Amino acid sequence: MAVAIGILIALGWLGSVSASSLKIGFVDIQKAVNECNAGKEAKKAIVKEMDKLQRQFADKQKELQTMKESLDKQAPMLNPDVRATKEKDFQNKVREFQRWQEDSQNEVNQKRMEMEQNISIGLMKIIQKLGEDEGYTVIMELRSVLFATKTVDITDRVIKIYDTQKK
């Protein structure tokens, strides 16, 4: 970390800031998204929606299984053309189910990503304001840092401020 800061100073990225006047903070954005109240609520909503989809998946699979069993029982008694038509219908229903399942999962993932992005935008505003108000030289994302002491991790403060503002 000291090497990275030294390089930033040497390259002039931190302007005329001396090493002794640096105030550095780190935030774990993913932790903040997951642990803030809005993140917990979003996670509950997504879990609820996934549970609903799982029940629908199971019902549709059971329906397809029943259809397959019926087709297997009837197949020996059907003439080849009728059997081929019924098998084709069954395969079409299987493909429809697979497309529906994939689309449903993509839709839930999209909602989750949108919720996380909205929360992240709010967190970024708080981080910027906190940085300005408290005179931080730089606040970086913790996941891109190999080591940082707990004293410079301001994630919990950011979560607390975010939750307070969202009440």
What are the pLDDT digits (tens) for 44-78?
999 999 999 999 999 999 999 999 999 899 888 88
What is the total count of domains within the chain? 1
Q: Which residues contact 43 (CB under 8 A, 6 or more apart)?
A: 34
Whole-angstrom Cα distance, residue 49 to residue 105?
10
- Say what angle helices 37-74 and 80-133 make with each other, to 10 degrees: 170
Residue 105 scores a pLDDT above 60: yes
Whole-angstrom Cα distance, residue 44 to residue 50?
10
What is the domain extent for residue 82?
2-166
Evaluate if pTM is beyond 0.85: no
